[in-house]
Amino acid sequence: MQSCEKPQIEPQPRRAPRVSYRAAEAAALLAEAGTLALFGFGAGAPASTDPRYLPVALETLDASAPLELWQVDAPVSCGSDGALCWSAGGGWLFASIELDEHQHGGPIAAARLAYEQLHRFVATRDERHVQRVWNYLGAINQGEGDAERYKHFCDGRAAGMGDFFAEGFPAATAIGHHGDPHRLQVYLLACDQGGLRVENPRQVSAWRYPRQYGRTPPSFARAMVLPAHDALAISGTAAVVGHASAHQDNLDAQLAETLTNLEALLSSAGMAAGFDARSPLKTYVRHAADAERVREFLQHRLPGVPLLLLHGDICRRELLVEIDGWRYA
């Protein structure tokens, strides 16, 4: 008897969105083919009601104040649902939510609600594999010990996510902005195919951090290989070795350690070493006065790499700088 095997239908590979920093008018970038998301930074960011556009509360430390653009190879549709905005195309989904903590019972309740609402929305979509999340909250280091606002954010995030990340945590960033301290912004990139989570062998996985870093360990993977294996989405990466912060009060040493961690992630993901002109990196700098030194250091060590410098507080007080970004294969 002949076996009658079903012809195997290969799922279409989902080419990674292309991320770039662009000095152009927001309207022109939104009108380009395949624009999935666009980000402005700080008080001077352009205004637009397009659901694909998110004005991020972090101030830019670059004189040129560029916009960040995500593009896919397909037509994009978009919409909004209360505080949640979304866009989708080519198997990719961008979703963002902005909440005022005052209107939602404080930082824990607001983080919980943000994650509940994102979860509820993503669950209605084919693009339910969350690859990458960004969290921007105000006054992140205010409060002592378990009462620090970052710790409250971690509590609320864990309470709100439920089984959102049952297949594993996405890559993430959590940074403090200097805008309205009660403004919480969370946005994500999801796909209809799953990625591969990557950890850093030099670091304890964040969800295994010991109790001294808070009741609720941070829930993120160090990086995510996107579904077509054509890009690595890199989480917020700082001078953390093991679980400890390294090089207190030493900016250059923290930068060097951060670059070592970034290289460790590339190696862990099985990618060639180094960053290039297609692989944008975003650098969060705690003290605006350090921006020039940070730029000089990174331009020297990462020549040709597109850099965006933002004024942001890292979730541990002793950390002066953190870098996240993309590496295309």
Give the residue closest to ligand 3EB by C-beta: 236
Question: In whole angstroms, how close is the CB of 235 to ligand 3EB at the nearest point?
Answer: 5
Strand 35-41, strand 53-56: pairing: parallel
Q: Among residues 35 and 117, whose Cβ is nearest to ligand 3EB?
A: 117
Question: In whole angstroms, how close is the CB of 214 to ligand 3EB at the nearest point?
Answer: 10
Burial 19-32 (b: 16+ CB within 10 A, else e): bebeeeebeebbee
Question: In whole angstroms, how close is the CB of 316 to ligand 3EB at the nearest point?
Answer: 6
Name the residues that contact ligand 3EB, by CB under 6 A.
Answer: 135, 172-174, 206, 218, 220, 235-236, 238, 240, 315
Question: In whole angstroms, how close is the CB of 7 to ligand 3EB at the nearest point?
Answer: 42
Question: In whole angstroms, how close is the CB of 266 to ligand 3EB at the nearest point?
Answer: 16
Q: Among residues 87 and 173, whose Cβ is nearest to ligand 3EB?
A: 173
CA 282 to CA 289: how far, in whole Å? 17
Active-site residues, by number, are 322
CA distance to 37, 93, 186, per residue, from 83 (Å):
16, 16, 11
Phi, psi of 302 (to 5 degrees): -130, 65
3-state secondary structure of 181: coil
Q: How far from chain centre, in Å, is Cα 44?
A: 21
CA distance to 4, 84, 157, 159, 207, per residue, from 114 (Å):
48, 9, 8, 11, 20
Q: Among residues 72 and 238, whose Cβ is nearest to ligand 3EB?
A: 238
DSSP code string of 267-318: HHTTPPS---TT--EEEEESSGGGHHHHHHHHHHHSTT--EEEEE-EESSTT
